[in-house]
Amino acid sequence: MTTQTQKQISVLAMSTIAFTVCFAVWMMFAVIGIPIKQELGLNETEFGLLAATPVLTGSLIRLPLGMWTDRFGGRIVFFLLMLSTVLPIWLLAFATEFWQFLVAGLFVGIAGGSFSVGIAYCARWFGKARQGFAMGIFGAGNSGAAVTKLVAPVIVVAYGWQMVPQVYAGVMLVTALLFWLFTYDEPAHKVGGHVTLREQLHALRDPAVWKYCQYYSIVFGGYVALALWMTKYYVSEYGFDLKSAALLAAAFSLPGGVLRAVGGWMADKWGAHRVTWWVLWVSWICLFIMSYPQTAFTVQTVTGPRTYHIALSPELFTALLFTVGVAFAFGKASVFKYISDEYPHNIGVVSGIVGLIGGLGGFLLPVIFGALVDLTGIRSSAFMLMYGVVWVSLIWMYTTEVRKLDHLVKRGRRPVNDPME
């Protein structure tokens, strides 16, 4: 007879594998979008829209998927979601016009909604003390972005970009079947029919939920945006070929996914607030440095004019990108630790809301990245934008959390289990 621990391990392992496959599919345009851009003659804004279109659907569907997970259980919702994407992924290989890629991308993007299903499904199998770590392990499926960076370029070079969606469709079908065979249902994890839709959506009126949406829009939305954009950035900024650019971009995608489990452990140990606070500061500093464009300026010296050049080398840029990827990995886990701590009975809906807004950040940012490049001609403008978003998050956290804790300390009322300790 299967023990509870064995069920927990099986559910977590299969959910993580399934989410990894879904995320790899979700990020497919980060690689195949580059040869498609060349075939169709797209500008930077159009490329950003192409790459981000799947993210739009995967974001908008997260809230209803979270609600369905609360009501019907994560196993059946996750399984049906994966099956629904197989045909659209396969048909993507036969698209020839820009509008066809956009329409196919909308249906393929449903795979991105798997996060709000899996995070609630896995969290309910574990006690509160281990939820952060469990959700972090599941969230490591974000490394599917790195899988695409490592696998898809090889397929493109050998067989053409059309082979990538055909391979991914087969992998998605097999994964869905394995998921159904090796996961379990637990009726106690469902909220039941007595909970109305209005009660589920009551979380939308909670200001704290919107604050967590803002945090997640940068640590997850920024992660998705950069995972989509970095391969193209390395090709355009430094002149790397597709395989080399994708490999270097994986220096961001891989730690940004795999280390999420470490972030969950850290949030369990030191609290969601403290981890998120330092994540934002580290990201803010790195993005400030990355924002500076390649510059040449001339100084009049006593011996005549002298020109100086300021630029980030590929090595230094990749090191900063890696650091941001690590910080975002920790931040994605710590934000959901807030949610599991404060909304244990409504985690599916709240995670759906936060995931939706975070995913919309992942959709809007690449489009804005492309528009900024078209308008300014400065590729590092993408990092200038993200620097501003992080700054907003830091200000919001300071005014609503740090100052509140400082006030309690001054009055001698430091709360028990203070996250700042």
Confidence at 198, pLDDT banded by 50, 70, 90: low
Predicted confidence at residue 416, as pLDDT, reads 42
Summarised one tens digit per residue, pLDDT across range 265-324 is 888 888 888 999 999 999 999 999 999 888 888 899 888 899 988 889 999 999 999 999
**pLDDT surpasses 90 at 166:** yes
Share of the chain above pLDDT 90, in %: 44
Q: Is the pLDDT of residue 419 over 90?
A: no
In the predicted structure, residue 418 carries a pLDDT above the cut 50:
no
Mean pLDDT, rounded, for 135-145: 84
Per-residue pLDDT, 417:
42
One-character DSSP codes across 110-143: GGGGHHHHHHHHHHTTS-HHHHHHHHHHHHGGGG
DSSP string, 392-420: HHHHHHIIIIIHHHHHHHHTT-PPTT-TT
Q: Which helix (H) or strand (E) holds 37?
A: helix 29-40
Q: Provide the mean pLDDT of the chain.
A: 86
Classify domain 4-191+199-298+308-410 at the CATH topology level: Growth Hormone; Chain: A; (1.20.1250)
Q: Does position 78 have pLDDT exceeding 70, yes or no?
A: yes
- Using one digit for the tens of pLDDT, what is the confidence trace for 335-362? 888 887 888 777 777 877 887 888 888 8
pLDDT in tens, 396-409: 899 888 777 655 55
Q: Read out DSSP for 308-373? A: EEE---HHHHHHHHHHHHHHHHHHHHHHHHHHHHH-TTSHHHHHHHHHHHHHHHHHHHHHHHHHHH
Looking at the predicted structure, is the pLDDT value of residue 236 above 50? yes
Angle, vertex CA 394, rays to CA 391 and CA 396, nearest 5: 110
294: DSSP letter: P
CB-based burial label for 20 (10 Å; 0-12, 13-18, 19+): buried
Higher-confidence residue: 381 or 261? 381
Paired tokens of 170: 């087969």
Q: Which range is least confidently modeled, 17-21, 102-106, 172-176, 243-247?
A: 243-247
Judged against a pLDDT cut of 60, whether residue 220 lies above it is answered with yes
Residue labelled with tokens 């079908």: 173
6 burial via Cβ count (<10 Å: 0-12, 13-18, 19+): exposed
Stated length of the chain: 421
Q: Cβ(132)–Cβ(67) under 8 Å? A: no
Instruction: State both tokens at 395.
Output: 């200000």
Q: How high is the pLDDT of residue 152?
A: 93
What does the block give as tokens for 389? 């978003």
Residue 254 neighbours by CB under 8 Å, 6+ apart: 143, 146, 325
Q: Which residue has the tokens 């890696």?
A: 322
> In 3D, which of 212, 320, 230, 364 has the Cα closest to residue 276?
212
Distance, in Å, from the CA atom of 290 to the CA atom of 321, rounded to the nearest integer, reads 8
Of the candidates 289, 273, 285, 284, the residue with the CA atom closest to the CA atom of residue 392 = 284
Check residue 282 and give its pLDDT.
Answer: 96
pTM: 0.76
Q: Summarize pLDDT for 18-77 with one digit per residue, the tens.
A: 999 999 999 899 899 999 999 999 998 899 899 889 988 988 888 888 888 888 888 999
Q: Which residues pair with 308 in a beta bridge?
A: 297
Partners of 310 in the beta sheet?
A: 295
Residue 410 has pLDDT above 80, yes or no: no
Mean pLDDT (whole number) for 67-93? 92
Which helix (H) or strand (E) segment holds residue 155: the answer is helix 144-159
